[in-house]
Structure 1
Amino acid sequence: MQIGVIGAGAMARALGGRWAAAGHEIYFGARRTEAADELAAGVGYGARGGSIEEAARFGEVVLLAVPVDGLDAVLRATPEFAGRVLVDCTNAFEPDTAAPDGAAGFVLAEDAVAERIAATVPSAQVVKAFNLCAAEVWADDAREFEGSPLSVPLCGDDPDAVRVVAGLAEDLKLRPFLAGGLHRARYLEAASVLTVGLWFAGYDSRAMLPPLSAAFATRDQQ
């Protein structure tokens, strides 16, 4: 599959690099084409680099891996996004500046980034995915923890687009979770700011939830 990756940072490298290794055709696009070229050369597997417009035009699927505060300018200046499957892996918080304040310092600067993307490019099919873990997790070889496969919740309104992104998750040896329509993506974004804040505070976020076999409650009697 042809995948355009917008951005030249850690998330672009982790996901784009893994997809390239899995056999997909990757085109990195960035405002500084030199950065995209350098990233493509480092990834190898025939990956190419160039402008944002070129990457968007190339990709059947386009990964948005740019800072949230730069999304609007990128989306409005790139008509090539129309008709594409747009994968939104962004989070609207800045952990590097919040970390000194501990877990309570991690808050969202924006409540629903994925919904804003869909409103800005209404002809695209937006799927929220890959936002719960740091780039280093996606770049690492580990795909199973305590006997459970690492999973990726997906939120989107177009079933075909969600199915495509689910397949891309499986190509990275991840298990996709179908988590509902795009209106539920804001909960993934909130989950990210909560869990990352806890991780920075030294807590194991996975310990908050029991395994599925022990997760069910009974209805209260009226």
Structure 2
Amino acid sequence: MFKLPQLPYPKTGLAPLFNEEQMTFHYDKHHNAYIVNLNKFIETDPSLKGKSLEEIVLSSTGGIFNNAAQIWNHTFFWFGMSPVGTGGQPSAELAAQITKDFGSMDELKAKFVDGGVKTFGSGWIWLCVGTDGKLSLVSTSNAAVPFTGNGPVPILTADVWEHAYYVDYRNLRQKYLEVFWSQINWAFVSENFATKKVRDLTKTMV
């Protein structure tokens, strides 16, 4: 059984990106609902018991996949952000790769924001790394994750479901993504880039 992972900051800690009302709806209600739903599936399906969250994401379909993937996506999303002034900078290795693949940090930001704005309907915008070390941007719909089907490894994501930002930004998705960029936890992103492995998030919720 899984439990809601503890945030690495208080629910007021991401202001001005998100206010406490937004965090309460998104974390306490939406994210927790996926946990509750997945645990119900586990109770009735013995094949799921003992599996890590990542194993369930990679081996399931339908409702089980949707809930497991959304748990993984949201947990990764929370850990990829930080309070104002604490996010640091990309590691030297990541900064060099950003320059190589995108030209500059400003160009990466512009393409990340644009990719998130153009993600149709509900979904996620991801910065990923391939086995060759090359960075790429990936847009996914609904609960989909980049790493199924031997896809690239995520190192950063922004949630572009409307419930992620509507309390604070209404329909201004671009404004939300621009503020998001100013509160990235670059230590987390740099670590993901260095390992080039799908993040083990199971340990944060058992």
Is the shorter-chain TM-score for this pair beyond 0.5, marking a shared fold?
no
Instruction: Kindly indicate which of the two structures has a greater share of residues assigned to helix.
Output: 2
Higher RCO structure, 1 or 2 (CA under 8 Å, sep 6+): 2
* Rg larger for: 1
Instruction: Kindly indicate which of the two structures has a greater share of residues assigned to strand.
Output: 1
TM-score by length of 2: 0.28
